[in-house]
Amino acid sequence: MKPSRLILTLSTAALAEGQTLSPRPTLRPSPYNPRVPFPNPAAAARTDKVCVVQAHGDGVTDDSFSILFAFHECNDGGHVLFPRGETYTIGSAMDWTFLRHIDIDIQGRIQFSNDTAYWQANSFRFGFQNVTSFFKLGGEDIWIYGGGTIDGNGQVWYDTYAANVYTQRPVLVGIDGLRDSVLSDLSLRFSPQYYHFVANASNVVFDNIDIAGASTSKNSAKNTDGWDTYRSQDVTIMNSVINNGDDCVSFKPNSTDMLVQSLCCTGSHGISVGSLGQYVGQFDIVESVMVSNISMHNASDGARIKVWPNAPSSLSDDLQGGGGSGRVRNITFEDMAIDNVDYAIEITQCYGQKNLTLCQQFPSPLTIEDVFFRRFTGKTSKKYQPLIAAFACSSAKVCGNIHATDIKVVSPNGKHQAYCLNQNAKNLDVECTSSYKGFN
């Protein structure tokens, strides 16, 4: 039955007083254009049909049915509006992978319920690590924007996870099979886990995204990566601000032709290739990645490549791995400003393992080649001084053509040293040393 009280279907000209549609964002890439042209909504017909979703607004009643109805009603050419000043409660898992040729204008606030038992039983599983999601977004030619907020109600999850590390925490934006689409001009708050998990996607742009959401209790917000890409190609992430507690961006297995630029990251674990080589028998690929024009503040790492050793190991009770293979190739990190970051650059093939002897006995077979770090500036934290970086590979056989040029980063005591293992020191604009500090 059509929920007429909760959705109004009308034309653009018939919007209620005070309601307006947000202009579709203009994408301004800098300093690089992506490999493929940005999605073009003009290529598919758009109508003046508008579906205005009205919220119950009591913070309890589930608005999911009305939202899903609006998406079906205005799919294939329409415009769904979440008006400014409204708060929508989502208490049901929804599959949005049917969407195509649609604008979703989020001006209000969308918040997920705090029913952790329901979400653990009903959220969507992605089959990688422990990733689940509140909803699953897919389809083609989808533009989501409007200046509104998507809120994961994360505090209850931070506290629940602290009591039980096997809690299945949903990511805030779960993407599966999205093509030729744009997400822009949005604020994301208090994700239980990653803010974005981008799987099986192609030609997707994230622009002007504002991410934040620290814990207000003694239990920290863990694993709150800004973006994780997985089995995806031609993803662009740009012009965004991220304040989180884990990777700012992470390229998981089979991420290719990625462009990440013009980001401000605070409190993160850096921009990371990996972790890779986690699963026995799997061949992980990350290649053709450009990361440019990044400011990194109060973080554990600036640019990082992290690979599991070729033996089982445990990073935490709910995250173990090792024994996989693969390749990392044609990766560039450039123009990164470092401010109170533990390591400006880190390459490790001993991820998740504090026993360096084990890593030496079971070196990773995953190859790392054609990697370029250039034009880094700033000052690291005191944590590993005098070291500013670590370039550690299992062997010279699996690492090659790694370059660090114009690295103007110093530790607080003015040193410019880096731990170098199985590297060609002539290619590294640092003072190499065999002294190692820290396990990552």
Amino acid (1-letter code) at residue 149: T
Q: How many CB atoms lie within 10 A of CB 16?
A: 11
**202-212/232-243 β-pairing:** parallel
Amino acid (1-letter code) at residue 158: Y
Query: Nearest 5°: phi and psi at 273?
Result: -90, 115
Tokens of 301: 């790492």
Catalytic residue among 72, 101, 269, 416: 269
Amino acid (1-letter code) at residue 315: L
Closest of 185, 205, 264, 260 to residue 31, by C-alpha: 260
Report helix, strand or coil for 139: strand
Please give the Cα distance from 176 to 14 (Å, whole number).
Answer: 34
Q: How many CB atoms lie within 10 A of CB 357?
A: 8
CB 270 within 8 A of CB 296: yes
Please give the Cα distance from 310 to 331 (Å, whole number).
Answer: 22
- Helices assigned H by DSSP within 57-138: 64-73, 116-122
Please give the Cα distance from 412 to 114 (Å, whole number).
Answer: 43
Strand runs labelled E in 247-398? 249-251, 255-266, 271-276, 283-297, 301-307, 313-316, 319-321, 325-341, 343-348, 367-380, 387-392
Closest of 430, 432, 406, 409 to residue 419, by C-alpha: 432
Q: Tell me whether residue 269 is one of the annotated catalytic residues.
A: yes
CB 241 within 8 A of CB 271: no
Please give the Cα distance from 245 to 253 (Å, whole number).
Answer: 21
DSSP labels, 6-17:
TEEEEEGGGPPT
Residue listed under structure tokens 């890439």: 29
Residues in the chain: 440
Which residues are marked as active site?
269
